A and B are shown apart, each in its own frame.
Chain A
């Protein structure tokens, strides 16, 4: 069983839709990260969370430490949001665990 599980694996949405990607983890963590990976491999860090909620533009990330769960929300989705979104956690021993990613396609 993976230490980090994401759902869904694949997601197709119409432009303008509200999108939610979920991440559950089984280890004790010091931080959780949401990453965006575009075709070709480049990875960009979107959020680092250790509690609560963060917002950046149309992106919102939340984390519930007790439930070991995090969500990434995209409001008013746009085709340029199409990418793979990866949840990653760092445990208290500084080991990283990555989810398998959610492939998002936003159709105009």
Chain B
């Protein structure tokens, strides 16, 4: 049983570019949450997708957008990249819009570096 998978593992972009990160939830899960973790910081909640809709959103600008597909996988898109967007992006899956952290299974993350 595969857990949460994310791709790519690492990514390097330049300022102003756009990036798409991908996440496949754990088998049996239908909800995906995205977090940004800057170096030396705790994760910050970006948003959650359930039933192909954004259900909750943290304090992130509109440059951060997402999508959930009918197979429950999800994408995180970031436009007009800034140096400050460099971080580890974590995806977590849960069931039925579960928000409690202990209900979420985290993926290994995608390390984004913006030059």
Query: A: which residues have CB within 8 A of B?
Result: 4, 31, 33, 35, 40-45, 47-48, 86, 88, 90, 94-96, 98-101
Contact = CB atoms under 8 A, between A and B. Distances in A.
B contact residues, range: 20 to 34
B100 to A, nearest CB: 7
B36 to A, nearest CB: 11
A42 B42 contact: no
A48 B101 contact: yes
A-side binding surface: helix, strand, loop or mixed?
strand
Given A88-B42, A88-B101, A96-B99, 12 more contacts: A31-B100, A41-B90, A41-B109, A43-B90, A44-B106, A47-B102, A86-B42, A90-B100, A90-B101, A95-B45, A96-B101, A99-B42
B42 A101 contact: yes
Most buried by A among B45, B56, B90, B111: B45
18 contacts: A40-B108, A40-B109, A41-B90, A42-B106, A42-B109, A43-B90, A43-B92, A45-B101, A45-B104, A48-B101, A86-B43, A88-B43, A90-B99, A94-B56, A95-B45, A98-B41, A100-B42, A101-B41
A67 B88 CA distance: 32
Interface string B72-103: 00000000000000001010100000011110
Contacts, number: 59
A37 to B, nearest CB: 8
A72 to B, nearest CB: 14
Nearest to A88: B101
